[in-house]
């Protein structure tokens, strides 16, 4: 089998806080093949944005512990020096569209220059070539090339988000991380940006990690779902299977909480709160809120393989125990 583009093994990221050590990521592993897209699906505080930051080493200062392996085409990029990571990996091979990045554009620099900047900084292109490429990339994401000379304040939110996307695309990275790429946008703008992403995926074979809390949006792009809860991936499934019916009880509860346009079933919220990551429970982290809780849940569940290439961190799938 071909080497996966990205392989993340037992990634841990803890933060130092005044109240103690916060375990934002606690042993996360997943793989992504070239040309495919995976969603890290989860609600606020589940660690999904920390994962994006850890992959790109955009970490805050209060990191208490950071371990695990991140293999890009078989090379452990966690082991690289910061200098090499900056030069060889970040932006040239993995780029990111950060949450609310459209509000982080430099207000006094023209759009075209900002889009071209990664080429100048990370790839040493000549100005004129970079400008040409910037115009081409902007057109691709649905921004007319004559916007090159405008300033960010002259653009709508949707246009600015497209500009940010162009910045992530311009170096033709193998992998693009999208952290809530459409969450602040209107419905129609959201849908048209998802169209742009789909087209890029189909035409260029770029791989994506989509980070979102939005089940509906994630079903627009991805081939695989990694469902996150309290710093862990609790289910990893092909998208088809997951969106039909999640395996993990948290996935089912989350799906049942989403109001659907064409579904008469009344959405139901999940009682309770995610556990405190300063002191996560010893056993299954969802147990306290889980309708299927039973005796084994007091111990930490391992990943159980389920048919159809699915895995879930849940004792319900322990075939051995049930005989």
Q: Segment contacting another protein (CB under 8 A): 55-63, 110-118, 185-193, 314-322?
A: 185-193
Q: How far apart are CA 17 and CA 24, in angstroms?
A: 11
Q: Is 244 in the site for another protein (CB under 8 A)?
A: yes
* Residue 56 C-beta: closest distance to another protein, Å: 24
Among 140, 220, 231, 312, binds another protein (CB under 8 A): 220
Q: How far apart are CA 239 and CA 261, in angstroms?
A: 20
Q: How far apart are CA 253 and CA 238, in angstroms?
A: 18
Q: Is 258 in the site for another protein (CB under 8 A)?
A: yes
* Neighbour tally for 74: CB within 10 Å: 9
Q: Segment contacting another protein (CB under 8 A): 57-65, 115-123, 240-248, 278-286?
A: 240-248
Q: Is 221 in the site for another protein (CB under 8 A)?
A: yes
Q: Segment contacting another protein (CB under 8 A): 9-17, 54-62, 102-110, 266-274?
A: 266-274
* Residue 264 C-beta: closest distance to another protein, Å: 8
Q: Is 291 in the site for another protein (CB under 8 A)?
A: no
Position of tokens 């130092």?
16
Answer yes or no: are the C-beta atoms of 209 and 197 closer than 8 Å.
Answer: no
Closest CA to 48 of 277, 219, 311, 245: 277
Q: Which is nearer to another protein, 83 or 271 (CB)?
A: 271
Q: Which is nearer to another protein, 67 or 156 (CB)?
A: 156
Phi and psi torsions of 134, nearest 5°: -65, -40
Residue 175's contacts (CB-CB under 8 Å, 6 or more residues apart) are: 5, 6, 32, 72, 93, 94, 95, 206, 207, 208, 209
Structure letter (DSSP) for residue 91: T
Q: Which is nearer to another protein, 120 or 256 (CB)?
A: 256
**What does the per-residue mask of binding to another protein show for 68-107, with x meaning CB under 8 A?**
----------------------------------------
* Residue 115 C-beta: closest distance to another protein, Å: 20
Answer yes or no: are the C-beta atoms of 30 and 234 closer than 8 Å.
Answer: no
**What does the per-residue mask of binding to another protein show for 20-49, with x meaning CB under 8 A?**
-----------------x-----xx-----
* Neighbour tally for 59: CB within 10 Å: 13
Q: Is 2 in the site for another protein (CB under 8 A)?
A: no
Position of tokens 């081409």?
136
Answer yes or no: are the C-beta atoms of 255 and 215 closer than 8 Å.
Answer: yes
Q: Is 255 in the site for another protein (CB under 8 A)?
A: yes
Among 21, 29, 192, 276, binds another protein (CB under 8 A): 192
Position of tokens 């592993």?
29
Q: Is 186 in the site for another protein (CB under 8 A)?
A: yes
Q: How far apart are CA 323 and CA 316, in angstroms?
A: 12
Q: Is 264 in the site for another protein (CB under 8 A)?
A: yes
- Site of interaction with another protein (CB under 8 A): 37, 43-44, 156, 158-159, 186-192, 194-195, 198-199, 213-223, 239-244, 253-255, 257-264, 266-271, 273
């Amino acid at each position: 089998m071909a080497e996966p583009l990205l392989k993340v093994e037992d990634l841990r990221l803890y933060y130092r806080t005044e109240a103690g050590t916060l375990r934002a990521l606690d042993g996360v592993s997943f793989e992504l093949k070239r040309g495919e897209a995976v969603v890290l699906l989860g609600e606020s505080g589940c660690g999904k944005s920390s994962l994006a930051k850890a992959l790109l080493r955009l970490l805050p200062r209060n990191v208490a512990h950071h371990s695990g392996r991140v293999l890009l085409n078989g090379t452990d990029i966690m082991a690289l020096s910061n200098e090499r990571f900056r030069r060889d990996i970040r932006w040239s091979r993995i780029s990111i569209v950060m949450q609310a990045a459209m509000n982080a554009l430099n207000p006094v620099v023209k759009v075209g220059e900002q889009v071209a900047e990664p080429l100048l900084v990370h790839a040493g292109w000549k100005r004129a070539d970079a400008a040409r490429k910037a115009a081409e990339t902007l057109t691709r994401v649905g921004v007319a090339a004559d916007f090159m000379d405008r300033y960010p304040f002259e653009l709508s939110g949707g246009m600015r988000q497209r500009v940010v996307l162009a910045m992530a695309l311009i170096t033709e990275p193998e992998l693009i991380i999208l952290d809530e790429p459409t969450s602040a946008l209107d419905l129609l703008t959201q849908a048209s940006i998802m169209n742009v992403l789909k087209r890029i995926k189909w035409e260029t074979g770029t791989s994506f990690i989509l980070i979102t809390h939005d089940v509906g949006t994630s079903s627009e792009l991805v081939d695989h779902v990694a469902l996150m809860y309290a710093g862990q991936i609790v289910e990893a499934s092909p998208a088809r299977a997951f969106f039909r019916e999640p395996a993990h009880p948290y996935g089912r509860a989350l799906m049942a909480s989403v109001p659907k346009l064409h579904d008469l079933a009344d959405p139901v919220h999940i009682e309770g709160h995610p556990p405190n990551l300063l002191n996560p429970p010893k056993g299954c982290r969802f147990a306290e809120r889980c309708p299927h809780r039973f005796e084994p849940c007091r111990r930490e569940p391992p990943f159980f393989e389920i048919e159809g290439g699915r895995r879930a961190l849940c004792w319900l799938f322990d075939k051995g125990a049930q005989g």
